[in-house]
């Protein structure tokens, strides 16, 4: 079964750090680009970060750039999100998601086709 | 960043109704548009990719159309399990963005 399982969430004080993990199983993890997406309580989905299949290329939302770092360990089939200088507005459920690519008419489209169940991060004093 | 605006923000409909949700991009995104469904307490589910392609396993009552800046998600005949929140998402630019969501409720 294709599965993503997040862990590492919890309560942290403003200015603190947390590292989230996302364990992948049931597919060849090293072949896929991966994402982190978050959702504040009662709010919509917000993309956080993306990493390519070998970890050599990353991108971030402006709101987390310079504070968050995405990485992966393909030998361990695990995706990470290191979160530093946390703020109250970082409080959210964090999902990891697999990117699935589709080629059509010479163009590359992609969507997030497999998602974890999410892990909750609460930033509060 | 490219802004994605969905309308309406919420919608009440009955089982069997035909429903259309609209998503507008702040600039042209060609067909780099996906649709997701999310139920309370659950992770999102990919429904449509590349504006009009149905993800494997998704019922055929779901369809997508559009290109450039204007897109629609249509549910041809609402089923009880379709009441959820729907999000559009653009993958045209490096900074991926979602719409604010459309909550579909039972009338």
What part of B 77-96 touches A (C-beta under 8 Å)? 87, 89, 91, 94-96
Verify whether the Cβ–Cβ distance B38 to A45 is below 8 Å.
yes
- Res. A104: pLDDT tops 90: no
DSSP E strands in chain B: the ranges are 4-7, 10-13, 19-25, 33-38, 45-49, 53-54, 62-67, 70-75, 85-90, 97-98, 102-106
- Pairing state of beta strands A119-123 and A10-12? parallel
Are residues A124 and A103 in contact, defined by beta-carbon separation less than 8 angstroms?
Answer: no
Q: pLDDT (tens digit, 9 = 90+) per residue, B49-76?
A: 999 999 999 999 999 999 999 999 999 9
At residue A28, the pLDDT reads 98
Residues of chain B predicted below pLDDT 70:
none
Greatest CA span in chain A, whole angstroms?
Answer: 52
């Amino acid at each position: 079964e294709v599965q993503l399982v997040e862990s590492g969430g919890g309560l942290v004080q403003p200015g603190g750090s947390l590292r989230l993990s996302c364990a992948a199983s049931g597919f060849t993890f090293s072949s896929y680009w991966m994402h982190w997406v978050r959702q504040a309580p009662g709010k919509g989905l917000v993309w956080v970060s993306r990493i390519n299949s070998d970890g050599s290329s990353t991108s971030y939302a402006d709101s987390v750039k310079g504070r968050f770092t995405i990485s992966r360990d393909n030998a361990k089939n695990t995706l990470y999100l290191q979160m530093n200088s946390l703020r109250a507005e970082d409080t959210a459920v964090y999902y990891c998601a697999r990117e699935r690519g589709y080629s059509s008419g010479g163009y590359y489209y992609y969507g997030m086709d497999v998602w974890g169940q999410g892990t909750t991060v609460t930033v509060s004093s | 960043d490219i802004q994605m605006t969905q309308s309406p923000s919420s919608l009440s409909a009955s089982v069997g109704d035909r429903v259309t949700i609209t998503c507008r991009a702040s600039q042209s995104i060609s067909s780099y548009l996906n649709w997701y469904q999310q139920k309370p307490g659950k992770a999102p589910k990919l429904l449509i990719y590349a504006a009009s392609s149905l993800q494997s396993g998704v019922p055929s009552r779901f369809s997508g159309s559009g290109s450039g800046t204007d897109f629609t998600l249509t549910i041809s005949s609402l089923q009880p399990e379709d009441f959820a929140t729907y999000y559009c998402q653009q993958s045209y630019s490096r900074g991926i963005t979602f719409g604010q969501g459309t909550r579909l409720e039972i009338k």
